[in-house]
């Protein structure tokens, strides 16, 4: 006995199918190979994938999620029964539904992997209240509209149908919200983080309602046993299965993703099937077990690997079968009263917005943010579609009721991205703040630094660099330590804010790279004075990683950003032209940075030992980048353990400098030279008499003389070089440009990094492009902390 996928449950004849062993004799002796279940399933799958991918490509400019394009695969959209009845005959429904629901369980497991349910514990009262209002009001409106629709259409009413309408409107799709915010570059903004948190709370609450409410409808007598069994299953997973997985991971993974074999990963897929089977048997639905197994996964690295390995196959190939089944069931021709349907759709679209607006108003949020939050909460995920299909399978929803709600889901979800994109255009999201460079740091204010690391190997060198920056109680450093992690597959970008290890309610097993990085930075904060560290992890694809970094820098009012060089070997034998993905990330950040940036090449020579002076050399030629680099070196000079040498290279003549040889230089006019002179003179005046600051000038007229000047400096056991990325064109740099293989570190930086005789680490500084660097127009003064302050 199978369910008719096309017609109303109350007006069709049951179709009996004789289930035989699925075999085929091949294409030659068979009458029609497509009559067999497996070949027919392959054709159906190919058709669905082709149509959904084509629709996704067509609707891509509107930033439509896959849910919308997949549901549009329906007879109502392409013409009913012309070929759908042949391509999707009733006899194929059993096979189609079996594969579709199996794909659904695996996809729900992946959704659980994406969620960090423990973050709900730290949710604010505002987030909880907005999520509650966004759930309760739509629940009531959905239940009321169900009875109103049934009465006006004179349909036989099953009272439990109001539960399915109410739950459908309550759901907010957390993965869909994060993907929309990520595509619109809003994920790291205040409204993005608030919407993400509320969406997660709403999604988890929706899952709880599904696990509790739907068993009551299925079997009221057995509902208590089903609910108790589900609670017992969840507790068993948390307190027995999770510790068992932790033990297994410790014994096998050794903290290295490469140790996870295919059979090891398949073991977790078997776990998904077992958990789905248990919750199905106990009276709940299989998706609940898959979701619980996903959220209890103890190791984030393993979860990311599972997502990377299976997400594309499950969501891109198998899951469209489920959405296509939903689309095939949607028969808009059964909707006879479109006036009533339009009224219902409008109310369903606005009820969640209204609930969000009412509560967020009490927290004095701007109207634009309140409206945007309400629209984002209208984003429906796969759970809403699942609830509707369960109502169909239970013969609770009529064709009209089912079709109206599916149309409402498509309209609500499809309208989110265009509306939010219009409300938050990139030109209006620029955050206004002045301290975008070290030169413009204000006296008595903390210097905010974003220190990016690619892995544990970058951490110690970055910390040594920060230790040289002279943090004191009067001139503190606020450091945002950002671990950049590639996120593969179709997962949405995630920003993880790590709490203190003493207060953390969630500790991952083993010692993942993020855990070790957080621990090292926390130890650095504990032993330092005037330094506060805020560890974060940004998980995003390489192609959009620079956007997440720049958005975070903008949001945190960063003045200086530190990026690790893509090739930390930093020697002449290193591959300088290799296509490192982090090299492209650095280039993109330099082109879009909202503050000054430093690319740090760590050669392991920058450690500052107690009782030992650290020699820092700043090579000054001229230009805004060099002035910003000198401002940083000036601040370091107030550190008692720093010996600063400023080496100014200049030429006696510039007659041989060709225009094409200075293509990387932005500062070739006389005005910049005057600013350079005034800046250097101010530095010399303020540091006169300080025993740990030396200033030298040397005339150089070609590459050989420039190299010779640096070679002489290396004899003084330099630990760190600080240079500007782009310098004023002169004879000292004209013939260096042709040798530069890494434009992102400039001509002088390239010479320092890839010269055999240079063993010191190198910091290449680029000033904030939005600052003209004209400090001659402002009054300059130096505090006793070694920092140059400017007053507008």
Q: What is the pLDDT of residues 230-241, one digit of tens each?
A: 899 999 999 999
The β-bridge relationship of strands 477-486 and 447-453 is: parallel
The pLDDT value recorded for residue 148 is: 87
Mean pLDDT, range 494-505, rounded to an integer: 60
The verdict on residue 628 lying in a domain is: yes
Report d(CA 478, CA 528) in Å as an integer.
12
Other beta carbons less than 10 A from residue 152's beta carbon: 12
Structure tokens at 125: 């009262």
Q: What is the domain count for the chain?
A: 2
Report d(CA 505, CA 684) in Å as an integer.
52
Other beta carbons less than 10 A from residue 246's beta carbon: 15
| Among 388, 359, 371, 352, CA closest to 137 | 352
Q: Which of 367, 389, 423 lies at the terminal end of a domain, its last residue?
A: 423
The verdict on residue 286 lying in a domain is: yes
Residues 195, 291, single domain; the answer is yes
**Range with the poorest average pLDDT among 77-86, 211-220, 257-266, 274-283:** 77-86
More confident position, 789 or 620: 620
Mean pLDDT, range 732-754, rounded to an integer: 76
The pLDDT value recorded for residue 306 is: 83
Residues 395, 540, single domain; the answer is no
The pLDDT value recorded for residue 541 is: 82
The verdict on residue 757 lying in a domain is: yes
Mean pLDDT, range 440-446, rounded to an integer: 75
Please name the residues in contact with 629: beta carbons below 8 A apart, sequence gap of 6 or more: 618, 620, 722, 723, 724, 763, 765
Specify the CATH number for the domain of residue 237.
1.20.1530.20
Residues 641, 747, single domain; the answer is yes
Residues 416, 459, single domain; the answer is no
Mean pLDDT, all residues of the chain: 80
Residues 323, 368, single domain; the answer is yes
Residues 654, 740, single domain; the answer is yes
Please name the residues in contact with 251: beta carbons below 8 A apart, sequence gap of 6 or more: none
Report d(CA 445, CA 437) in Å as an integer.
13
More confident position, 698 or 783: 698
The verdict on residue 3 lying in a domain is: no
The pLDDT value recorded for residue 207 is: 87
Q: Which of 106-120, 337-351, 643-657 has the highest mean pLDDT?
A: 337-351
The pLDDT value recorded for residue 714 is: 80
The verdict on residue 31 lying in a domain is: no
Q: Assign residue 489 a region: left if phi > 0, alpha if psi is -120 to 50, beta otherwise?
A: left
Structure tokens at 564: 């690790």
H or E element, residue 8? none
What are the angstrom distances between the C-alpha of 222 and each of 97, 281, 282, 283, 753?
26, 12, 10, 8, 72
Mean pLDDT, range 296-311, rounded to an integer: 78
Residues 489, 592, single domain; the answer is yes
Residues 402, 486, single domain; the answer is no
pLDDT in tens, 644-695: 999 998 876 554 444 444 444 444 456 778 888 899 999 999 888 888 999 9
The pLDDT value recorded for residue 109 is: 93
The verdict on residue 68 lying in a domain is: no
The pLDDT value recorded for residue 479 is: 94
Say if residue 600's pLDDT is above 60: yes
Task: Kindly list the strands in the beta sheet with 596-601, ordered across the sheet, starting from the edge strand earlier in the chain.
Answer: 494-497, 531-540, 477-486, 447-453, 560-564, 596-601, 761-766, 720-724, 614-620, 642-650, 693-699
Report d(CA 211, CA 284) in Å as an integer.
6
**CB distance 732 to 706 below 8 Å:** yes
Residues 286, 140, single domain; the answer is yes
Say if residue 276's pLDDT is above 90: yes
Report d(CA 185, CA 164) in Å as an integer.
34
Report d(CA 242, CA 9) in Å as an integer.
42
The pLDDT value recorded for residue 587 is: 92
Q: In degrees, to the nearest 5, what angle opens at C-alpha 428 toward C-alphas 423 and 429?
A: 95
The pLDDT value recorded for residue 575 is: 44
Q: Which of 609-623, 711-725, 739-753 has the highest mean pLDDT?
A: 711-725
Mean pLDDT, range 428-444, rounded to an integer: 66
Domain that holds residue 375: 105-423
**Range with the poorest average pLDDT among 27-31, 215-219, 525-529, 544-548:** 27-31
Say if residue 577's pLDDT is above 80: no
Report d(CA 146, CA 151) in Å as an integer.
9
Structure tokens at 276: 């789905």
Report d(CA 404, CA 378) in Å as an integer.
16
For every residue of 177-227, which 3-state class applies, written as one string?
HHHHHHHCCCCCCHHHHHHHHHHHHHHHHHHHHHHHHHHHHHCCCCHHHHH
Report d(CA 683, CA 673) in Å as an integer.
15
The verdict on residue 643 lying in a domain is: yes
Residues 229, 284, single domain; the answer is yes
The verdict on residue 716 lying in a domain is: yes
Helix (H), strand (E) counts: the chain: 27, 13
Residues 455, 525, single domain; the answer is yes
Residues 419, 451, single domain; the answer is no
In sequence order, the β-bridge partners of residue 614 are 642
Share of the chain above pLDDT 90, in %: 21
């Amino acid at each position: 006995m199978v369910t008719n996928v096309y017609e109303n449950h109350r007006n069709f004849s049951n179709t009996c199918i004789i289930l035989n062993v699925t075999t085929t004799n091949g294409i030659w002796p068979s009458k029609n190979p497509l009559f067999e279940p497996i070949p027919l399933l392959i054709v159906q799958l190919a058709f669905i994938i082709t149509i959904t991918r084509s629709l996704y490509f067509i609707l891509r400019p509107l930033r439509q999620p896959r849910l919308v394009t997949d549901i549009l695969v329906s007879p109502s959209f392409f013409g009913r029964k012309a070929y759908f009845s042949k391509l999707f005959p009733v006899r194929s429904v059993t096979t189609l539904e079996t594969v579709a629901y199996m794909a659904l369980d695996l996809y729900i497991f992946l959704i659980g992997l994406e969620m960090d349910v423990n973050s709900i514990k730290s949710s604010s009262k505002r987030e909880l209240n907005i999520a509650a209002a966004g759930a309760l009001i739509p629940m009531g409106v959905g239940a009321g509209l169900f009875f109103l629709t049934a009465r006006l259409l004179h349909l036989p009413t099953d009272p439990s149908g109001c539960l399915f309408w109410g739950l459908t409107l309550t759901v907010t799709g957390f993965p869909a919200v994060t993907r929309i915010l990520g595509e619109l570059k809003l994920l790291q903004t205040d409204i993005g983080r608030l919407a993400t948190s509320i969406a997660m709370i709403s999604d988890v609450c929706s899952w709880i309602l599904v696990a509790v409410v739907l068993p009551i409808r299925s079997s009221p007598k057995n509902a208590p046993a089903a609910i108790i069994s589900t609670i017992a299953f969840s507790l068993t997973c948390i307190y027995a299965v999770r510790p068992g997985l932790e033990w297994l991971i410790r014994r096998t993974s050794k903290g290295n993703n490469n140790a996870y074999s295919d059979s090891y990963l398949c073991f977790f897929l078997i776990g998904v099937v077992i958990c789905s089977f248990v919750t199905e048997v106990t009276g709940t639905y299989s998706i609940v077990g898959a979701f619980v197994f996903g959220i209890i996964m103890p190791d984030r690295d393993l979860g990311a690997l599972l997502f990377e390995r299976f997400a594309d196959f499950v969501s891109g190939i198998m899951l469209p079968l489920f959405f296509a089944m939903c689309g095939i069931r949607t028969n808009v021709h059964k909707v006879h009263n479109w006036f009533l349907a339009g009224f219902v759709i409008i109310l369903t679209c606005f009820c969640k917005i209204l609930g969000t607006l009412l509560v967020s108003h009490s927290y004095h949020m701007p109207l634009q943010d309140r409206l945007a939050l309400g629209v984002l909460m209208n984003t429906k995920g796969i759970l809403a579609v699942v609830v509707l299909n369960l109502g169909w399978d239970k013969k609770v929803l009529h064709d009209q009721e089912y079709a109206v709600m599916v149309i409402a889901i498509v309209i609500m979800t499809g309208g989110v991205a265009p509306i939010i994109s219009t409300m938050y255009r990139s030109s209006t999201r620029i955050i206004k703040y002045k301290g975008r460079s070290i030169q413009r740091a204000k006296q008595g204010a903390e210097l905010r630094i974003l220190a990016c690391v690619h892995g544990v190997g970058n951490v110690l060198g970055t910390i040594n660099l920060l230790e040289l920056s002279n943090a004191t109680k009067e001139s503190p450093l606020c450091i945002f330590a950002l671990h950049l992690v590639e996120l593969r597959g179709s997962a949405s970008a995630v920003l993880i804010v790590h709490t203190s290890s003493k207060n953390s309610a969630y500790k991952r097993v083993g010692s993942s790279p993020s855990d070790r990085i957080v621990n090292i930075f926390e130890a650095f904060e504990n032993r330092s004075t005037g330094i506060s560290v805020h560890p974060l992890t940004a998980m995003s694809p390489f192609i959009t990683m620079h956007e997440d970094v720049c958005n975070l820098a903008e949001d945190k009012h960063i003045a200086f950003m530190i990026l690790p060089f893509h090739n930390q070997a930093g020697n002449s034998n290193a591959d300088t032209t290799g296509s490192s993905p982090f090299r492209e990330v650095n280039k993109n950040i330099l082109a879009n940075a909202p503050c000054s940036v430093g690319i740090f090449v760590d050669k392991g020579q920058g450690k500052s030992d107690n009782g030992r002076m650290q020699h820092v050399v700043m090579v000054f030629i001229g230009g805004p980048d060099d002035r910003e680099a000198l401002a940083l070196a000036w601040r370091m000079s107030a550190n008692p353990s720093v010996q600063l040498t400023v080496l100014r290279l200049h030429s006696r003549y510039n007659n041989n400098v060709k225009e094409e040889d200075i293509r990387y230089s932005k500062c070739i006019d006389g005005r910049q030279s005057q600013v350079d002179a005034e800046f250097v003179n101010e530095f010399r005046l303020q540091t006169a008499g300080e025993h740990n600051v030396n200033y030298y000038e040397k005339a150089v007229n070609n590459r050989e003389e420039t190299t010779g000047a640096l070679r002489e400096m290396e004899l003084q056991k330099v630990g760190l070089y600080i240079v500007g990325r782009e310098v004023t064109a002169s004879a000292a740099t004209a013939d260096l440009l042709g040798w530069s293989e890494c434009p992102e570190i400039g001509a002088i930086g390239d010479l320092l990094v890839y010269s055999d005789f240079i063993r010191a680490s190198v910091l290449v500084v680029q000033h904030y492009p939005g600052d003209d660097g004209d400090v001659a127009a402002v009054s300059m003064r130096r505090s006793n902390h070694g920092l140059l302050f400017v007053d507008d």
